[in-house]
Amino acid sequence: MASFLLKSVLVVVAVFFISSMAQASDPDILSDFIVPAGSTIDGNFFTFTGTRDIFGSIIEKFKVTKVIKAEFPGLDGQSVSLAVLQFPRGGVNPPHTHPRAAELLFIVKGSLEVGFVDTANKLYTQTLQVGDLFVFPKGLVHYPYNSDWNKSATALSGFGSASAGTVSLPTTLFATGIDDQILAKSFKSDIATIRKIKAGLSS
Amino acid sequence: MASFLLKSVLVVVAVFFISSMAQASDPDILSDFIVPAGSTIDGNFFTFTGTRDIFGSIIEKFKVTKVIKAEFPGLDGQSVSLAVLQFPRGGVNPPHTHPRAAELLFIVKGSLEVGFVDTANKLYTQTLQVGDLFVFPKGLVHYPYNSDWNKSATALSGFGSASAGTVSLPTTLFATGIDDQILAKSFKSDIATIRKIKAGLSS
Amino acid sequence: MASFLLKSVLVVVAVFFISSMAQASDPDILSDFIVPAGSTIDGNFFTFTGTRDIFGSIIEKFKVTKVIKAEFPGLDGQSVSLAVLQFPRGGVNPPHTHPRAAELLFIVKGSLEVGFVDTANKLYTQTLQVGDLFVFPKGLVHYPYNSDWNKSATALSGFGSASAGTVSLPTTLFATGIDDQILAKSFKSDIATIRKIKAGLSS
Amino acid sequence: MASFLLKSVLVVVAVFFISSMAQASDPDILSDFIVPAGSTIDGNFFTFTGTRDIFGSIIEKFKVTKVIKAEFPGLDGQSVSLAVLQFPRGGVNPPHTHPRAAELLFIVKGSLEVGFVDTANKLYTQTLQVGDLFVFPKGLVHYPYNSDWNKSATALSGFGSASAGTVSLPTTLFATGIDDQILAKSFKSDIATIRKIKAGLSS
Amino acid sequence: MASFLLKSVLVVVAVFFISSMAQASDPDILSDFIVPAGSTIDGNFFTFTGTRDIFGSIIEKFKVTKVIKAEFPGLDGQSVSLAVLQFPRGGVNPPHTHPRAAELLFIVKGSLEVGFVDTANKLYTQTLQVGDLFVFPKGLVHYPYNSDWNKSATALSGFGSASAGTVSLPTTLFATGIDDQILAKSFKSDIATIRKIKAGLSS
Amino acid sequence: MASFLLKSVLVVVAVFFISSMAQASDPDILSDFIVPAGSTIDGNFFTFTGTRDIFGSIIEKFKVTKVIKAEFPGLDGQSVSLAVLQFPRGGVNPPHTHPRAAELLFIVKGSLEVGFVDTANKLYTQTLQVGDLFVFPKGLVHYPYNSDWNKSATALSGFGSASAGTVSLPTTLFATGIDDQILAKSFKSDIATIRKIKAGLSS
């Protein structure tokens, strides 16, 4: 009996946490920072050490390490996040959008080709060297690509939201179950081609 | 001479208009409405008649008619716009995103299948009848599709921005000149397949 | 005993829901959408069917059907809502304001006379036909009126808020209990006239 | 000739100023303050002396003195303004709304009765003494009234916008030319009564 | 047993309140006002009487009385607050910033010298008389000072946030435990001087 | 004559540019990006190369290189910026605030001691290693310090504003001309000590 009631109470607490996560928003807050319910905080709350070994790591395929509100609660209400992008030789971050922020990319190692398409369907491209920056405007389709087959590359990206979100387009379009017919019509293609692309992305 | 100077003045005015368009933003304004520079306004400024005959028109392929700030300056600063979506039998609005607003779709004729994919790659679908509404959250990939091969369909969409923007994904990805190599790698496909899709969309 | 505790728990849950409703705000959210505490969601969460039969209904006096956050929780955090306005012959929607959004009105049947007054006390009016749109700027007093005594009219309105709110002025001023003396002084009228108007509105 | 061209140039400058006024908005700015085009500023830009003698003035009817962006350009972009409200014995500020801000009223002399009506048509009232404060939520109909027939009263009001705007309802409804028929129908009254109220307010 | 469970329930409620306080934000809300969880409200909720006797009080050192969300929950979501500043003869409010709002200062008694420094390190100063106003832009270091050794002074300040926050710089820098070494280096001074200032502020 | 008029026209254009800079704000924009008046843009508009050699540079005292809207116009309207912080052995960035954004600091070389003080006068500190991050909440006084006398350190900081602004406190308080008397009183110190600190900072 008691354990049933205790569980009920815990469910309420859990439900509350989930909900408060979902409700938090990027606009200005009315306090210096947002303390999670029931927490006592010190300097550790504002610290993230999950990327401590990142610069020494060797990667074999493109890898993005996000430092956002989900992993680092101290960012809640502060409207900022960062990501480390690691590219092997010839690696690409497939075309994607961030629904909730622009991205400011900073090349810290190697070089990258980047591009984005605006809502008037114009493609903007650039080749970047170490120390260069490029801004991908909010919500637009963009990609960075390491065209160098001899060197890996690393970039750091800043975002003006603690939770920018990512919509990776190959996966979103061809690996979430959207009907073949709808895709074939939309891409002015045929079902066989759609299935071929789906097969490649699911493997 | 005078005409040269007059032109200079006009260029300044024109430049100003372009710039003020670019600068305008959706947040709350400090006035009741935004009067374009040099205008005197009356009730016509708040009126749009460009869709007067829309309900009687017959369409042969999917057509979207947007009533946004670009066509209707009275919307500037008011954070709202509408669009009329007309679907022939079997017509589809290819997967797309709106970078600056969610979309609330209202079926006024026929029926539609709709879907969207969230940032966790989950697909949400629904079949809608006349009088039903569906909300596509801000910035996510979505599509409405008239699966009925016997009836056309019409929907009205509301947006919480005077300029929501549209990123149509087939066009953005395959008809703006993104490098074949980057696309092949991104879609885990091959250059022949990418070119086939590009050819279909360019025709 | 147990039921007392269970009720306590339920009260907490209830209190939480009320509070989360009250706290939610229209600015950008940090997630794709806002999941109500304790819910599992699918496509139905984003669907509203409460207006399914609206176009076939016959009305005898002016009726507004709002599709807002209160009825359709999927709108929470998406900054958009719609309303269907149905006018009998000669029907009027009395002068009112929406404290939290502008209104973009679209005539889908019949015709309407509309007007609004800005903060400089200037009245803007227009006569609208099927397919026309009119924008009522945020927070200003406005009214749509079907001056046609032979035809009913229908309009759809979009709002850039999931909860625009409505302040109907005849009711707010004369049917909520504001002191006769204050009203008489404010309207530079007399108590008898105020009471006459109050009587009309209370019947 | 030259003077014509000079005038053209000046028109452009003037037009620009009007437009930049209209475009400015209350959200956070990207600079410490907004310098009007072509100005050099010092401490005077941040100073307003137009109310220097206000506390010694004697008033015979209700008077509001607003210190807002229109009179005090230094407020542009700072999201704050103040007003001084002076009430003679028995004076009232007729029911009104502020479309762009809540109002925080502080009684500095005398006493006031205040009230506001929420969007659920509930009236909230209070009697206030010197040193008391009352908040009128954003966009709602409210009024302050000096019910004391022996003493005048003074209040200071703060607003979270540099340009909150005011919609005075008696004037807006009955002194801007809204059609008698529409008003009679809206107030469930008759044209004679509407005209009587209009006459009182126009005198 | 029961009391343990009851306490658990109360902890959940308490935790919820703390959290909802922390989460509330200044942007527009989706309701007329924010009702604290579990409350029934009437006109008292919108009233603050804690400053009722303030104008008759005599002060011996500078005193600021804030009317903000923390003391007056009715301000939550309304983006406005006020403060009363009382200066004895020669009294100063030490240099400080408000992280979340600009301040609009209104002199209601006596006179004040004021100043602020912008992010380009330019100092703006002014001498103000009764009835004058001065705006301190958001987030900048500023101070008001009663240079008159014969008269006390009183000012009222409006803020465009229900919780502007205050960072008092002498205390923040020299009385919170920042390492002497870091301060000596930062102020291009020596440890003895830093300790002397710390001693003065701690006494 | 003509050249005089041409100059007038150019002045108008120039004035417009200054003003549009001043007016731009961080909230969401209504376009993909903000095109400066009269510009044609390509990929270079979104690229910043001014920091190309930064990682190879050797510094002798603390140096911050900001990549913000002022240097990189492509950031306008995108709500994001970055800075590179280079610390010699024992170097400190004196206590400062950013009025318009939180700062997310990422250590890319060496180690740092960091601290900030909240509005309740609580100091939060941390020692950070390569790969660690720390968030300084918006508007609060903070400092990073390289306590290592054998190694230099480098950090990258992200900001959720294209123009966060910096208020360096030693300079703001003691090197902008604030009256000695006001500072002595504020710091509960004496004029001799204030002058000593001023002298150190002016040298």
Contact D47 E129 (CB under 8 A): no
Q: Do D32 and F161 touch (CB under 8 A)?
A: no
Contact predicate C152/C59, CB 8 Å: yes
CB within 8 A of D35, min separation 6: which ones? Answer: D41, D45, F18, F19, F22
* Candidates B79, B124, B134; nearest CB to C102: B79
Q: Which residues of D92-120 are buried (b: 16+ CB within 10 A; e: fewer)?
A: bbbbbbbbbbbbbbbbbbbbbbbbbbbbe
Helix (H) or strand (E) holding C196: helix C191-202
Residues of D in contact with C140 (CB under 8 A): 99, 167
Task: Judge contact between A30 and A77, C-beta under 8 A.
Answer: no
For E137, which residue in chain F has the nearest alpha carbon?
F99
Neighbours of B150 (CB within 10 A): 7
CA distance E139 to chain A (A): 13
Question: Are A167 and B122 an interchain contact pair (Cβ–Cβ within 8 Å)?
Answer: no
d(CA C185, nearest CA chain B) in Å: 28
Q: In what order do the strands lie in the sheet with A167-168?
A: A123-128, A112-117, A141-145, A96-97, A167-168
pLDDT bucket at B20, cuts 50 / 70 / 90: very low
Closest by alpha carbon to F31, among F94, F71, F76? F76
Whole-angstrom Cα distance, residue B167 to residue B165? 7
Contact F143 E177 (CB under 8 A): no
Enumerate neighbours of E (3 or more CB pairs within 8 A). A, C, D, F
Interface test with F, best of E186, E194, E196 (most F CBs within 10 A): E186
What value does the mean pLDDT of chain F take? 87
The answer to whether A188 contacts B165, with C-beta atoms less than 8 Å apart, is: no
- Looking at residue E2, its pLDDT comes to 45
**Chain-chain contact of E178 with F115 (C-beta, under 8 angstroms):** yes
Nearest CA in chain F to A156: F156
At position C44, the amino acid (one-letter code) is: N
List C-alpha distances in Å: B55 to B50, B63, B155, F43, F84.
12, 12, 11, 42, 57
Whole-angstrom distance, CA of residue B81 vs CA of residue C105: 10
Q: Which of D18, F58, A26 is nearest to B41 (CA)?
A: D18
* Beta-strand pair A81-87/A153-159: antiparallel
Question: Residues of chain F whose C-beta is under 8 A from some C-beta in B?
Answer: 2, 5-6, 9, 12-13, 16, 20, 23-25, 27-32, 34-38, 77
- Number of other residues whose CB lies within 10 A of the CB of residue D129: 12
Please give the full DSSP string across chain B, using - where no structure is assigned.
-HHHHHHHHHHHHHHHHHHHHHH--SSPPSSSS-PPTT----GGGGEE-TTTTGGG---SS-EEEEE-TTT-GGGTTS--EEEEEEE-TT-B--SEE-TT--EEEEEEES-EEEEEE-TT--EEEEEE-TT-EEEE-TT-EEEEE---SS--EEEEEEESSS----EEHHHHHHSS---HHHHHHHTT--HHHHHHHHHHHH-
Among B77-81, C69-73, E29-33, which stretch is predicted with the lowest mean pLDDT? E29-33
**pLDDT score, position D23:** 28
Chain C residues inside the 8 Å CB shell of A11 = 38
Distance from CA of D61 to the nearest CA of C (A): 12
Instruction: State which residues of chain A have pLDDT below 70.
Output: 1-27, 203
E75 → chain A, closest CA residue: A30
Please report the number of interchain residue pairs, chain A to chain B, with beta-carbon separation below 8 angstroms: 141
**Cβ contact, residue pair C100, D140, below 8 Å:** no
d(CA B127, CA D102): 43
Task: Write the DSSP symbol of residue E75.
Answer: G
Q: What is the pLDDT of residues A81-114, one digit of tens each?
A: 999 999 999 999 999 999 999 999 999 999 999 9
pLDDT tens per residue across span F89-146: 999 999 999 999 999 999 999 999 999 999 999 999 999 999 999 999 999 999 999 9
- The residue of chain A nearest to residue C14, with distances taken between CA atoms, is A12
What confidence score (pLDDT) does residue A141 get? 97
Q: In Å, how far is A186's CA from the nearest CA of chain E?
A: 37
Note whether A106 and A113 are within 8 A (CB).
no
B135–chain D nearest CA distance, Å: 25
CB-closest option in D128, D129, D160 to E80:
D160
- State the chains in contact with C (3 or more Cβ–Cβ pairs under 8 Å): A, B, D, E
With residue C81 as reference, give the H or E element that holds it.
strand C81-87
With CA atoms as reference, report the closest residue to A96 among D186, B70, F22, B139.
B139
State percent of chain B over pLDDT 90.
Answer: 76
Tell if the CB–CB gap between F97 and E94 is shorter than 8 Å.
no
Per-residue confidence at F9, pLDDT binned at 50, 70, 90? very low
Nearest CB among C46, C53, C108 relative to B126 is that of C46
Best mutation target among B7, B10, B15 (most F Cβ atoms within 10 Å) is: B15
Residues contacting residue C52 through CB under 8 Å, at least 6 positions apart? B129, B130, B131, B132
> For residue C27, what pLDDT band results from cuts at 50, 70 and 90?
low
Report residue B37's pLDDT band, with 50, 70 and 90 as the boundaries: confident
Q: Residue D133: enclosing H or E segment and its boundaries?
A: strand D133-136
Structure tokens at B138: 């801000």
Closest residue, chain A, to E22 (C-alpha)? A34
- What is the enclosing helix (H) or strand (E) of E194? helix E191-202
Predicted TM-score (pTM) of the model is 0.87
Q: What is the DSSP letter of E92?
A: B
Those residues of chain B whose CB sits closer than 8 Å to some CB in chain F are 1, 4-5, 8-9, 12, 15-16, 18-19, 21-27, 69, 99-100, 161-163, 165
Give the model confidence (pLDDT) of D135-173 as tens digits. Answer: 999 999 999 999 999 999 999 999 999 999 999 999 999
Instruction: Tell me the nearest-neighbour CA distance from D24 into chain B, angstroms.
Output: 6
ipTM given for this complex: 0.85
Q: Do D32 and E118 touch (CB under 8 A)?
A: yes
Sheet holding B103-109, edge to edge: B63-67, B81-87, B153-159, B103-109, B133-136, C47-48
Confidence bin at B151 (pLDDT 50/70/90) = very high
Closest Cβ opposite residue C135 in set B52, B74, B101: B74
Q: At what angle do helices D2-23 and B2-23 cross, to 10 degrees?
A: 0
Strands B112-117 and B141-145: antiparallel
In Å, what is the CA distance from B110 to each residue of A110, B104, B142, B150, C114? 55, 17, 19, 10, 30
A–C: how many Cβ contacts below 8 A?
63
Q: How distant is the Cα of A176 from the closest Cα of chain B, in angstroms?
A: 6
Residue from E1, E18, E19, E98 to probe the interface with A (highest A Cβ count within 10 Å): E19
